[in-house]
């Protein structure tokens, strides 16, 4: 029993000296089994040893990674030489290093960073924050009109940062960013209580564009944005919910949302979209324009303005005096101030989708002597009663325009809706289309001025508007216009053209045969014009049936050729007369006209249906024989007929007519008896009824019929 296996030292039950060939069978079996087990276990042992070695290598790698992370966290240089982390070394050093690299990223982890002097931002550097607040120190804030960050090249981006001024103003001092005219982008930033301005984008040597996205400006002591270069803003809020204001006289007039200036040699372009101006103490946008400079271009889309200007103050007159009675600061969506003494202006403004609520002063005010038209569309303005209180000395006028096209605007005003900036300069060339005016405010201009109101509605107690053209207007008691066309209400006696104004004695109605007043676009094209069309029914279109208590006659054609009339005619089968007081009807059915038009509530006679039919009496007894008619319709898919109207059977005349003469019966069904359009298909049924009475033996013939209805052209 001295033998053992090599790996596990399992005893083998045969003598150490014995040869394997000399073993018994059971001894050889045990030998082979022990060898197999020993080999397998040896392999498993080797595998475990390999796994242990691998685990030791992994632990070594983890230790190396931890050491690397520790080194990174203890450095402001991350991964590459173009990324820096704020907090360990001076910001000026980090920015300078990124400038040497041609740009890069400066990351601000969450926290507050005190800025004690102006920091220069090289080109192509992004400053990225994560709940990071950049605050000027008290001593730096009061050092003068200097910025916290000065941009030194194009391609700079401020992203996710909060720029914070001081909780008390003392004076209007340090601003947040000065771009120096370089192309700069501001994204997801906030500006709180900044000084002289939040962002200064002015330069006379550079022409970079300032782009602002998803940012908010709150309670700035000075103006929010200063620029004489192009600005592109989207999803930006300017708000001043507190009454904090500079008490320093020199800066009392600050607080404008965007203050812009034109300059020689460069076109100022301003594009604003999804922008809000909420409770600003001054005007939302103030643009000072020199007509000698290139024309400015302002495009504003989706803008909201609420309670801006003097309406924020309990004593507007006192505040106006404190700011030198400067009307441009009283409050407006946009105020364009010309530097020319004759109100000259060469720029253009496009404003769409605007909502201006309770401004104290103006909604839009532009110079009177402008060369180009301004455009306003799809907007609303509403002056609150406190915006002028009946004694406002500043006479807030909603729209101060001279040359403009205004469409789809709804306005409520207490003083005046519209007039031009100056009576001394400029001339009117203004069109209002599809606008709605309400309130007690009046309108500027005279009947001879080139002012047109097209499809406009006037309501409230406002005096009559003035202008040259009033087309398709409604609501005013009178129009002071040179040409009043298709408008309800009256017009001044001096009007040279006054069509369809519905004022008796002074005009004639153009709608007698053409429906309601036409809707006319500014380009002169008519829209929604209504006309009258006819359905002609010949005698062969009619079928005869009994219509009395005996009613046995089935529907059948009853047609003959009349030699004296020279045409086929339908008759009531008078050759085979029913009993006295029985009746027969001639019936015609046609498809309901799909262009039938009668608007809801229409009462004008133009929306009536006219039914005419021609009859001939062989003996001329039109004064004896009762004739009636009924007009019905059946909607598609419905089994019930609906009457339009008709006439109970009675003689058509009081005196006989000449035998075989033709008599035209003419009847009108008023609009009140007609359904509103659309009918959506169906049938139109005309029934002409003849009653057989005592004392007549006449033959009545039908030559044809006509149904005239209002139709949309």
What is the residue extent of each domain of the chain? 3-57, 164-477, 531-712
pLDDT at position 513, please? 35
Query: How far, CA to CA in Å, does 483 sit from each of 434, 490, 494, 501?
Result: 18, 12, 10, 10
pLDDT at 52 over 50: yes
Name the range with the highest mean pLDDT among 161-175, 436-450, 497-511, 645-659.
645-659
- The token pair at 479 is 């129009």
Residue 88, classed as helix, strand or coil, is coil
Q: Name which CATH class applies to 531-712.
A: mainly beta
- Cis peptide preceding 678, ω within 30 of 0: yes
E-state strands within 74-206: 83-85, 104-108, 111-115, 119-121, 125-136, 147-151, 156-164, 175-178, 184-187, 190-192, 197-201
Q: How many CB atoms lie within 10 A of CB 29?
A: 11
Residue bearing tokens 């404190």: 322
Long-range contacts of the stretch 692-695 (C-beta < 8 A, 24+) = 692/577, 692/578, 692/579, 692/580, 692/581, 692/582, 692/583, 692/584, 693/580, 693/581, 693/624, 693/625, 693/626, 694/580, 695/624
pLDDT at position 321, please? 84
pLDDT at position 683, please? 86
pLDDT at position 3, please? 62
Q: How far apart are CA 401 and CA 443, in angstroms?
A: 12
178 CB-contact burial (10 Å; exposed 0-12 / middle 13-18 / buried 19+)? buried
> What value does the mean pLDDT take over residues 136-154?
86
pLDDT > 90 fraction of the chain, expressed in percent and rounded:
41
Compute φ and ψ for 186, nearest 5 degrees.
-120, 120
> Among candidates 127, 139, 115, which has minimal Cα distance to 185?
127
The CB-side HSE value for 83 (13 A sphere, CA atoms) comes to 8
pLDDT at 17 over 60: no
What is the DSSP secondary structure assignment for residue 296, as one 8-state letter?
P
> What value does the mean pLDDT take over residues 114-129?
95
- For residues 664-684, one letter each, b for 16 or more C-beta atoms within 10 angstroms of the residue's C-beta and e for the rest, the string is ebebebebeebeebebeebeb
pLDDT at position 188, please? 96
Beta strand pairing call for 125-136 and 104-108: parallel
pLDDT level of residue 32 (50, 70, 90 thresholds)? low
Q: How far apart are CA 681 and CA 217, in angstroms?
A: 59
Widest pairwise Cα distance in the chain = 160
DSSP string, 236-267: EEEE--S-----SGGGTT---SEEEE-BTTB-
Give per-residue pLDDT as tens, 184-234. 999 999 999 888 889 999 999 999 999 999 999 998 888 999 999 999 999
Least confident among 529-533, 535-539, 670-674: 529-533
Residue bearing tokens 């999804």: 274
The CB-side HSE value for 210 (13 A sphere, CA atoms) comes to 28
Give per-residue pLDDT as tens, 282-320. 899 999 999 999 999 999 999 999 988 887 887 888 888
> Among candidates 160, 321, 312, which has minimal Cα distance to 243?
312
pLDDT at position 322, please? 84
Q: How many CB atoms lie within 10 A of CB 713?
A: 15
Q: How many CB atoms lie within 10 A of CB 311?
A: 23
> Among candidates 263, 139, 246, which has minimal Cα distance to 197?
246
Least confident among 57-71, 318-332, 446-460, 664-678: 57-71
pLDDT > 70 fraction of the chain, expressed in percent and rounded:
78
> Among candidates 614, 618, 617, which has minimal Cα distance to 542?
614
pLDDT level of residue 465 (50, 70, 90 thresholds)? confident
Q: How far apart are CA 217 and CA 277, in angstroms?
A: 10
Query: How far, CA to CA in Å, does 551 sit from each of 547, 548, 582, 648, 702?
Result: 6, 5, 9, 19, 21
Whether 446 and 424 have beta carbons less than 8 Å apart is answered as no
Q: How far apart are CA 25 and CA 19, in angstroms?
A: 13
Query: How far, CA to CA in Å, does 310 sit from each of 87, 326, 327, 382?
Result: 44, 11, 10, 15
pLDDT at position 405, please? 93
pLDDT at position 479, please? 72
pLDDT at position 461, please? 61
pLDDT at position 584, please? 92
- The answer for 310, left when phi > 0, alpha when psi is -120 to 50, beta otherwise, is alpha
pLDDT level of residue 91 (50, 70, 90 thresholds)? very high
End-to-end Cα distance, the chain? 122
Whether 119 and 147 have beta carbons less than 8 Å apart is answered as no
> What value does the mean pLDDT take over residues 377-388?
73
Q: How many CB atoms lie within 10 A of CB 131?
A: 12
Whether 283 and 256 have beta carbons less than 8 Å apart is answered as yes
Whether 119 and 89 have beta carbons less than 8 Å apart is answered as no
- CA dihedral over 495, 500, 502, 506, signed as positive or negative: positive
Q: How far apart are CA 252 and CA 323, in angstroms?
A: 6
> What value does the mean pLDDT take over residues 613-637?
90
- The token pair at 623 is 């004064």
> What value does the mean pLDDT take over residues 620-639?
86
pLDDT at position 284, please? 93
pLDDT at 6 over 70: no
Whether 545 and 585 have beta carbons less than 8 Å apart is answered as yes
pLDDT at position 183, please? 97
More confident residue, 1 or 528: 528
- The token pair at 288 is 């000072």
pLDDT level of residue 27 (50, 70, 90 thresholds)? low
The CB-side HSE value for 378 (13 A sphere, CA atoms) comes to 8
More confident residue, 306 or 76: 306
Those residues whose C-beta lies under 8 Å from the C-beta of residue 656, and which sit 6 or more positions away, are 620, 621, 622, 623, 624
Query: How far, CA to CA in Å, does 401 sit from each of 252, 302, 321, 334, 459?
Result: 29, 21, 26, 12, 21
């Amino acid at each position: 029993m001295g033998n053992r296996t090599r790996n596990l030292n399992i005893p083998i039950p045969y003598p150490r000296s014995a040869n394997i060939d000399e073993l018994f069978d059971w001894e050889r079996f045990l030998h082979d089994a022990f060898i197999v087990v020993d080999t397998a276990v040896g392999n498993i042992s080797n595998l475990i040893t390999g796994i242990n070695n691998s685990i030791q290598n992994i632990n070594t790698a983890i230790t190396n990674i931890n050491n690397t992370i520790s080194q990174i966290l203890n450095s402001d240089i991350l991964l590459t030489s173009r990324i820096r982390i704020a907090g360990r070394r001076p910001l000026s050093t980090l920015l300078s290093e990124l400038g040497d690299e041609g740009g890069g990223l400066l990351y601000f982890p969450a926290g507050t960073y005190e800025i004690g002097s102006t920091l220069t931002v090289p080109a192509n550097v992004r400053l990225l924050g994560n709940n990071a607040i950049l605050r000027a120190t008290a001593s730096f804030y009061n050092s003068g009109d200097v910025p916290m960050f000065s941009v030194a090249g194009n391609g700079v981006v401020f992203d996710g940062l909060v720029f914070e001024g001081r909780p008390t103003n003392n004076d209007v001092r340090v601003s947040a960013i000065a771009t120096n005219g370089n192309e700069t982008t501001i994204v997801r930033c906030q500006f709180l209580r900044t000084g002289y301005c939040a962002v200064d984008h002015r330069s006379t040597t550079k022409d970079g564009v300032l782009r602002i996205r998803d940012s908010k400006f709150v309670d700035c002591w000075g103006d929010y944005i200063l620029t004489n270069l192009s600005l592109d803003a989207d999803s930006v809020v300017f708000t001043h919910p507190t009454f904090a204001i500079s008490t320093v006289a020199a800066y009392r007039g600050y607080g404008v949302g965007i203050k812009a200036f034109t300059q020689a040699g460069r076109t100022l372009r301003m594009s604003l979209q999804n922008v809000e101006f909420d409770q600003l103490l001054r005007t939302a946008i103030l643009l000072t324009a020199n007509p000698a400079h290139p024309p400015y271009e302002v495009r504003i889309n989706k803008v909201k303005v609420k309670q801006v200007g003097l309406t924020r103050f309990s004593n507007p007159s006192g505040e106006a005096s404190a700011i030198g009675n400067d009307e441009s600061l009283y409050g407006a969506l946009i105020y364009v101030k010309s530097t020319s003494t004759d109100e000259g202006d060469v720029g253009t403004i496009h404003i769409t989708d605007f909502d201006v609520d309770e401004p104290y002063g103006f909604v839009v005010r532009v110079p009177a002597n402008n060369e180009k038209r301004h455009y306003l569309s799809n907007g609303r303005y509403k002056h609150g009663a406190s915006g002028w209180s009946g004694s406002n000395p500043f006479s807030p006028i909603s729209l101060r325009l001279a040359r403009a096209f205004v469409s789809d605007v709804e306005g409520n005003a207490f003083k005046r809706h519209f007039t031009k900036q100056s009576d001394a300069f400029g001339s009117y060339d203004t069109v209002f289309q599809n606008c709605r005016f309400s309130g007690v405010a009046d309108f500027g201009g005279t009947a001879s001025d080139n002012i047109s109101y097209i499809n406009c509605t006037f309501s409230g107690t406002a005096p009559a508007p003035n202008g040259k053209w009033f087309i398709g207007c409604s609501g005013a008691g009178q129009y002071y216009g040179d040409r009043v066309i298709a408008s309800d209400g009256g017009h001044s006696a001096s009007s040279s053209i006054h069509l369809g104004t519905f004022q008796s004695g002074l005009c004639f109605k153009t709608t007698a045969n053409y429906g309601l007043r036409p809707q006319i676009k500014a380009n002169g094209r008519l829209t929604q014009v209504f006309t009258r069309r006819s359905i002609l029914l010949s005698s062969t279109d009619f079928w005869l049936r009994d219509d009395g208590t005996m009613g046995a006659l089935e529907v059948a054609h009853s047609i003959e050729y009349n030699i004296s009339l020279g045409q086929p005619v339908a008759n009531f089968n008078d050759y085979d007369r029913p009993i006295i007081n029985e009746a027969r009807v001639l019936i015609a059915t046609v498809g309901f006209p799909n262009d039938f038009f009668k608007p809801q509530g229409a009462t004008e006679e133009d929306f009536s249906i006219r039914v005419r039919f021609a009859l001939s009496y062989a003996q001329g007894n039109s004064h004896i024989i009762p004739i009636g008619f009924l007009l019905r319709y059946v909607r598609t898919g419905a089994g019930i007929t609906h009457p339009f109207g008709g006439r109970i059977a009675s003689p058509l005349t009081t005196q006989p007519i000449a035998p075989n003469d033709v008599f035209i019966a003419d009847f009108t069904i008023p609009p009140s008896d007609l359904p509103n359009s659309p009918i959506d298909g169906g049938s139109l049924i005309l029934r002409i009824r003849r009653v057989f009475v005592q004392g007549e033996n006449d033959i009545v013939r039908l030559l044809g019929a006509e149904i005239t209805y209002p139709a949309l052209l």
